[in-house]
Structure 1
């Protein structure tokens, strides 16, 4: 029998329904129901009275959940009593922008504080990485929080807030963002990434029906195109190394500028895992530097 089944039982007893428990343990209600049936087969007796609209736990289920809670509390106490540094493999999904802004300093932090942790890096876009996280292909991910706010079943830790700017060639004449976007070709960050969706929404609100010159999936490539005089682009504020290397200029967008939030995201069921906590702490420290 898997410990996960007992943890799910505890969640059902605490929350009072399969649906609410499903949110807590990051499963579907049907998966929770299946696990409870597996437990009933294991113990050879019903755990819930299913005659009512909401399945009510039996006295045995309540007693069993209490045993589970005590056992988990003791295990948690033993975990915190350990003075060994966290170790093991962590599969980390990360967006391209976070690889250059956050990863180097965070990796250095991990080397100092938790050298036993081995990172396995998987690069991707926010939508792809969130799917990989939910499917268990990665343990955590560095992503842009979606415009919808993202799934409440996941644990979101904010790291950076990045305001969008208008990136123009260094020698372009002064003007407002609206004037420049009206008179210059617009190089659009591809809308397959969250930042591209945010930039497109801003431009379309400013200039309805504005059509792009081209869609480009990478910020570095767009900056190079802007530097070559091919157009302008609305992008998250770019790192100074890239700005200085290409000699482009950033124009603030004012109070209406979109802001993207870079977060570390984990599955709710993985809360309290020491190796993931260590990775998260390293990225939080990196974001504060």
Structure 2
């Protein structure tokens, strides 16, 4: 099978236009249409449907689209490895939890692509557990997530970027003498118990017999910080960086007992075909995190 046929098919479906695909591939529309027809003939099925000037995938085309993209990515990676062993190329398929998508991941990718302009990347947001599953199944090369609360399989490697102990999050104007009493008496904004940080918070509350007056349960730390800033409640969350959000003014209070910690780091498959890209991202991200720590870029240390 000619990979050019696959590339034409993918472009036509993604762009929704044979003419636009032809411009991207520097071909005539007739040549692109012919390539798609050749692929359909080879596979024995219709892959694209036309509706006026718009082109989309048939049911059969949708079934092979993801695999076609993967094949093209693998071919590009193979060519890059053969052509230049000193330069990194190919596409890194990376997942990221929400807080990392807004901070570490774009910073590390910017550094990496500046060093290796032949590289490309695909980003997928999600919860730590969902991204963990996609790394273990090979759908993603790596993911920046909160370490799951179970033993990782031997097929995966892990590197911790930061350790985030649980803290009480309150409006900046609130003064706290007793963290546990505050958790008991103030309206409580719970961190989603389907994610690692929320599970740690729930375990702490149970351990100390604290039954808060729950107002709502959310899975986004940015949303929780916004609600706390508006005086709508307090929360128990990992000590990430809520003060980095514009317009947010909150205070963090250390817990009186040993605080559970959320570990945030990089998970990747040991047999990943793009291990060089994963290691390059790891190096860039780790350098950024160490520099931030050394220069005190973490805002709002918890108060006691």
Shift of 1:284: 1.5
Q: TM-score, normalization: structure 1?
A: 0.67
> Among 154, 164, 167, which residue is 2:166 paired with?
164
Aligned to 1:92: 94
Q: Secondary structure of the equivalent of 1:212?
A: strand
Aligned to 1:266: 268
Shift of 1:143: 0.8
Aligned to 1:214: 216
C-alpha distance after superposition, 1:161-209 (max 9, x if no partner): 1122100012223222101111111111101111111111112222344
Count of paired positions: 210
Q: Secondary structure of the equivalent of 1:256?
A: coil
CA distance in 2, matches of 1:95, 1:243: 16
> Among 173, 182, 186, which residue is 1:184 paired with?
186
CA distance in 1, matches of 2:256, 2:90: 45
Instruction: Say whether the 8 Å CA contact 2:144–2:267 is kept in structure 1.
Output: yes
Instruction: Say whether the 8 Å CA contact 1:164–1:234 is kept in structure 2.
Output: yes
Residues 124 and 154 from structure 1, CA distance in 2 versus in 1: closer, same or farther, beyond 3 angstroms?
same
Shift of 1:114: 2.0
Which structure carries more helix by proportion? 1
Uncovered stretches (5+) of structure 2, i.e. residues with no partner: 1-80, 292-304
Q: TM-score, normalization: structure 2?
A: 0.64
CA RMSD in angstroms comes to 2.2
Q: Secondary structure of the equivalent of 2:102?
A: helix
Aligned to 1:281: 283
CA distance in 2, matches of 1:168, 1:109: 35
Instruction: Say whether the 8 Å CA contact 2:108–2:288 is kept in structure 1.
Output: yes
Shift of 1:240: 5.3
CA distance in 2, matches of 1:243, 1:257: 24
CA distance in 2, matches of 1:255, 1:85: 50
1:244-263 → structure 2 map (5 Å cutoff): 245-263=247-265
Aligned to 2:124: 122
Shift of 1:210: 4.1
Shift of 1:156: 0.7
Instruction: Say whether the 8 Å CA contact 2:164–2:239 is kept in structure 1.
Output: yes
Which protein, 1 or 2, shows the higher relative CO under an 8 Å CA cutoff with sep ≥ 6?
1
Aligned to 1:105: 107
Q: Secondary structure of the equivalent of 2:169?
A: strand
CA distance in 1, matches of 2:152, 2:122: 24
Shift of 1:272: 7.9
Aligned to 1:233: 235
Residues 209 and 173 from structure 1, CA distance in 2 versus in 1: closer, same or farther, beyond 3 angstroms?
closer
Aligned to 1:40: none
C-alpha distance after superposition, 1:36-68 (max 9, x if no partner): xxxxxxxxxxxxxxxxxxxxxxxxxxxxxxxxx
Residues 272 and 118 from structure 1, CA distance in 2 versus in 1: closer, same or farther, beyond 3 angstroms?
closer
Aligned to 2:195: 193
C-alpha distance after superposition, 1:117-162 (max 9, x if no partner): 1111000001100111122221111110012243232111111111
Instruction: Say whether the 8 Å CA contact 1:243–1:249 is kept in structure 2.
Output: no
CA distance in 1, matches of 2:151, 2:257: 21
Shift of 1:259: 1.1
Instruction: Say whether the 8 Å CA contact 1:154–1:265 is kept in structure 2.
Output: yes
Q: Which runs of 4+ in 1 moved over 6 A?
A: none
